Every structure is written in structure tokens, then in C-alpha cells.
Structure 1
């Protein structure tokens, strides 16, 4: 009898716990999931506006078909300019894919070694960054260095720094988060240091190398190192919930059109971006897809092998609770479902 009562009490406890947990579910995410799937990508893009996004751009490259462009919402909310599928957008961490390719090509050329350490390339950081003599380039590429992430410093995004040196100063003399190669933790500092190493080895800005070896090879005309030299009117506005101003003039690294990113991503995945031996090197150090986030800008870039399709999604609204990060994922997944459904029909 006692055993049956215990089971009933346990079952009731689990039910009550499940009901209680519903009060903490962000219903905006649930609603985005359960809505009926639209018939087209454009309808899904339009639906994104109902979830709080000011604007969205989607680029779809299905093998054997001309690329498709979709947009909804605002390119510039204040001036009531509609979203432009060919606008420039801040890539944020999507730029790490370009950096990893550049590292790959320099390794293949013998100008860099994945096994050499941070101390070998930037000896001035010995004693300023823990384990500098044990952290290899490969560990930095793979976020296995243990170096603290400068964007995780308190209130970083309230007043982000613009120069590498200013960002680096935020983590110098700080203890490592773990011993090299003993764990994984995403750290933007890794890629800041990789950029510094490339600049030093090349004797020129590393983006010049990216331009010559990646962008020119793919004939990409709408990918840029920064806002410098870009027509600001070509840049999609970015908005952060609770922040009153357009964020597009903040300097946050690389920009590109969705089409340029899509062309790059297909070439990355099909190997046409690489010379002999380079694809094997790249596969050993980094991934073939990425997401990006800076205030006002979110991006997703993936190749879907099962349908031989590249899909790039840009959304120009972020929020403090990161609901929009999850919403962007949901919208993206629904776009993929729409494309697969059409493929099967």
C-alpha cells in the first residue's frame, strides 16, 4: 500500500512540476514553433516581423537553380526604407570562417604552423596571457586555449571597444579559464590574436590576404573589412530592444551581402575555395557553418547537404534576454522545412 501511495505522490509531484515550469516558458518562442508552417519562404520572412524583428533578409542557393532573395521589414526604420535583400550586413562571428580559411592557406604555404604557440608568434604576451607558451594556433582556432573572452567582461556591450589593443587590454593579466586543450569555451579573444599573428607574419593587414586569396578568387565585390570606405546607406540598420538609436554606425568588423556570404559558404563546403591539401587542413581545425551576433545584428549561415542548399539569414534586431537569438533559430528551421517540403513535393 505504501509503495502505491509513494508512486502516486511521485507522479503528482512530477505533474505539478511540469505545470509550474510552464510559467517560466517564454511563450513568444512557443508561439513561433506552433504556428502553421507557411507555404513560402517569403511568407515566413513576413511572419518574422510579427515576432519582433524590424527586418530580415534570406538568401537561398539551391543547386541547379538561380539564387533566390527574400526580405521583409525595414532597411531603415526611421526613414521608412524597405528591407533590401542586397544590403550590407554586419557579419559578427561569421567572420571567423574567413579567418579560419586564411589560417589554413597560410599553414599550407608554410608561413604559419598549427603547432607553434602564442609565445612563438607574440612573445610580448608571455606573462600577460596564462600558458602563452603552451597555447598553439590550432587551440586558438578551435576555442580550446582557455584565454578569457573579452566580450564577456562586465558591461562590454554598453561601450564596446573598436581597436584590437583596447579589447586585448581587457583580458591581459587575467587567469586562464582552463588549461590549454583541456576544455572548450568560445572566446573572441582567440580570433583577435589570430588576426594579430597574421598581420605580423604577412607584414600587412590580414584582410588584404583575405581579399586576395578568398574574395578575389570568388569574385566577391560586396564583402568589406569594416565600415571604412563603405557607403553607410548600403548598410542595413540594426536595432537593440531598449536602445533608442540605430546601431549601424558602430564599427563591429566585417560586412557583406547575404549573396556574398552564400557564395563563400558554398565554395567552403564544396571545396572549390581550397587548393590541393588545404581542405584536409581546414577540416581538421574548424567548422563549415556559423552564426553571428553583435548588438542589432544576427546571422546564420549553413549548407544543407541533404537538399544541396545554402541558406543565409540576417535579422536586424537583438534583445537583452536573447529571445531574438532563439527566435531567429526557429524562423531559420522553419525556412528549411519549407524548402524540404517543396523538394519532396
Structure 2
């Protein structure tokens, strides 16, 4: 996860006291200490939810808003960034299960208007092996390639602009392919914008409607929305901030309100830690996909550790052997979503950035490693940060 990345129905809710713990939950100071570490390295706030053999634990650290002493609300909503991709991949695979989409069928046949390379299959979109340029900017073989405004002052000035999904795709396709489809791996938000357009084409309904129909309503994920171009966050939430260079001087701006259409289906959704737990536990527990397709989803590409819409991480045997996860970020917000293979132990969290420069190369991985160690290894084994 990085701090920078790359109208919805307002869901009514009554905010719990900021930072309030679940009634009757066990005291787990090691978890509170682990999330405090993120605040200590410069994040504005964090709230965490853990489900394991000891039950549910929720807690928060830091502040809800700069200049405000209140902690982030533990039932707060937040921008989940690329965790959106796991939701989208699940819907695509449900359509595969119904025979409406072929996993290894060329995408061109479904979306001929884009004149895609006929070798690009649905699987390649979900696994990031299509070679399609990332419309938010790319970095491949040591070369940085700019995309649509996604960082710095240019993003700040354009953060309320509305992008159309086809505009994003056509921009990406105006750039040369990074490699022959299927021969390499490169993370591209455009893959999932295309996947959502695929959902819309074969169902005749919008990506947001299909997400509601297939996942959000059946699982009662009342705190989760697909916001489209709406810039707000419904219900209780912490504020996110962006620190950038303005004429050579550091400047911090509140970016809680931002138009997420730049990340259509790749990072636009809003959710809660409770809803992410419910979704990921149901997915890995086999409640959303038939076993053969769940197995496909969980099979990692050898170069990247990415399956179809989620990532796979080997861990020590003391930590359960394997973790499945997908973290996400958009400017101002980060999201964590981890689980054991059967969905019985999960970690979901929201992180907000503030007015500090954070070392994402050294300090952030150490903080994440400490948290994963406490949750999945009982504090006994140093795991990978992913």
C-alpha cells in the first residue's frame, strides 16, 4: 500500500463514540500497540477489526481529524482503494460460473468497441497479465510513464473532475502495450475498469447495480457503496489528508472529499472494516463462488503472488501457512484486508494519512509486519509484510 495511488445513496448510521471498543471484548493491548505504531510513524489515524478464535476485537488510534482529539470511529466508513478489485473479480467469476463469461475467452468479443488485442482474455484482466497500460500512470522495466493526473498538485487541482470509464480505457489504449498478453505481469487499474465494463455489457446493468444485486444486498453490507462520481463519504468517517509539494514548498490539504471516478471499479468503493470482514470471510469460506472458481481465484501468478483479484502470501506454519489479502489505497486513505484460507481469522483496517512525511520503504513495512505478526502469529514469529 502507498499513501498516493496511483451519486451514491447515503447510508444512514449512528456513530459509536470515536475509538469505542466493542462491548465486552477482551483487552488486547498488543493489538492496540500495533496500531499505535502506524500513528507513531506519521499516519493521522487507524482503526482495526480482528476476528479470530478469541472473538472480535476493534480499536483505533490517532485522530479522526487533524486538530481534533477524537479518535477515528471504529464503525467509520472509508475509501477502500484497490480492495475494490476483489469485489469486482468476484462478480466477474460469478458470471463465469453462470456461463455468461468465459474465463479464457478473449475480451474483444465482449467489448469490440475498444479494439483490444484479441489475445487478451478475461483471466488476464483479473490477473494483471494483459499488458494494458495503467491509465493512472505506470512503472515498467525501470521506466516511469505518466498517466492521467493521479498525484501531486495536478491531482489536487483535478480531484473533483468526473471521468467516464470509456475515457479511462481509451486513454490507456492510446499508449503502447507493455508486453505481449500473457507473457508478463504488471499491475494496471485499467484491467479492472475493463472488467467492470465487461460486467455491464453482459448483464445490461451498471457495475454499481450488479454489485448491489450480487454481493452488497445478499451479505447485508449496508456500510458499503459504489459512489460513482459522488465526492462525499456517507455516515461516520475519519478525514484523509494529502501532503505534496506546491511551488517547492510542502502543503497539506484535506482530501476527504474527492471524485473517485478516476478509479472506476479499480479503487472507487467505500466500506467499513465490518463489511470487509463479512465479505472476505464469505468469499474465502466458499459462500460466493463455486469451489473450482474459488480455487482459480486463489492460484497466484508465479511472478507476482496475485491470483484473480486477490494476493497470496506464504507465512510461517505457526501463522497458518498461507494468507490471502488485497490491500488498497487512494490519496488520503488506505485499507487492509487479510484472512486465513478458510476465512475464519481476518484482519481489516482503515488508515488515514495526515500532515507528515512517511517512510513507505522502511517504516511502513515494519509497522505492517508487526501488526500481521500479532494477529496471525500470536506475536511469536516475524512474518512477511506483503
TM normalised by structure 1 equals 0.78
Tell me if the contact between 1:104 and 1:281 (Cα under 8 Å) persists in the aligned partners.
no
Match of 1:23 in 2: none
Q: Where in structure 1 do 4 or more consecutive aligned residues deviate above 6 Å?
A: 318-322
Bigger fraction of residues in helix: 1
Distance 2:59 2:236 in 1: 17
Tell me if the contact between 2:103 and 2:121 (Cα under 8 Å) persists in the aligned partners.
yes
Distance 1:218 1:140 in 2: 26
The one-character-per-residue Cα deviations of 1:225-264 (angstroms, maximum 9, x if unpaired) are 0274965452321112234221111122101001110111
Tell me the SS of whatever aligns to 2:254.
coil
Distance 1:306 1:116 in 2: 29
Q: Does 1:83 align with 2:72?
A: yes
Match of 1:250 in 2: 258
Equivalent residue for 1:116, pick from 100, 105, 112: 105
Distance 2:355 2:284 in 1: 32
Equivalent residue for 1:151, pick from 136, 153, 156: 136
Match of 2:331 in 1: 295
Aligned residues: 302
Tell me if the contact between 1:307 and 1:343 (Cα under 8 Å) persists in the aligned partners.
no
Match of 1:235 in 2: 237
Tell me if the contact between 2:243 and 2:253 (Cα under 8 Å) persists in the aligned partners.
no
Tell me if the contact between 1:289 and 1:302 (Cα under 8 Å) persists in the aligned partners.
yes
Tell me if the contact between 1:114 and 1:138 (Cα under 8 Å) persists in the aligned partners.
yes
Stretches of structure 2 lacking an aligned partner (at least 5 in a row): 1-27, 138-145, 245-250, 261-267, 300-306, 311-323, 382-386
Q: Which moved more, 1:335-344 or 1:42-51?
A: 335-344
Kindly report which structure 2 residues correspond to 1:25-104, keeping only aligned pairs within 5 A, or say none.
Answer: 39-63=29-53, 65-104=54-93
Tell me if the contact between 1:298 and 1:325 (Cα under 8 Å) persists in the aligned partners.
no
Shift of 1:151: 0.9
The one-character-per-residue Cα deviations of 1:134-181 (angstroms, maximum 9, x if unpaired) are 111111111000000011134433235542233224323221000000
Distance 1:197 1:306 in 2: 29
Match of 1:264 in 2: 279
Tell me if the contact between 1:226 and 1:254 (Cα under 8 Å) persists in the aligned partners.
yes
Match of 1:200 in 2: 201
The one-character-per-residue Cα deviations of 1:172-191 (angstroms, maximum 9, x if unpaired) are 32210000001000000000
Tell me the SS of whatever aligns to 2:327.
strand
What CA RMSD, in Å, does the superposition of the two structures yield over aligned residues?
2.9
Distance 1:280 1:151 in 2: 30
Distance 1:232 1:54, change over 3 A: same
Match of 1:136 in 2: 121
Shift of 1:215: 2.1
Tell me the SS of whatever aligns to 2:175.
coil
The one-character-per-residue Cα deviations of 1:17-51 (angstroms, maximum 9, x if unpaired) are xxxxxxxxxxxxxxxxxxxxx95111222232221
Shift of 1:99: 0.7
Q: Which moved more, 1:206-215 or 1:269-278?
A: 269-278
Q: Which moved more, 1:98-107 or 1:217-226?
A: 217-226
Q: Which protein has the larger Cα radius of gyration, Structure 1 or Structure 2?
A: 1
Stretches of structure 1 lacking an aligned partner (at least 5 in a row): 1-37
TM normalised by structure 2 equals 0.71
Distance 2:223 2:272 in 1: 6
Distance 1:73 1:256, change over 3 A: same
Shift of 1:324: 3.8
Match of 1:190 in 2: 191
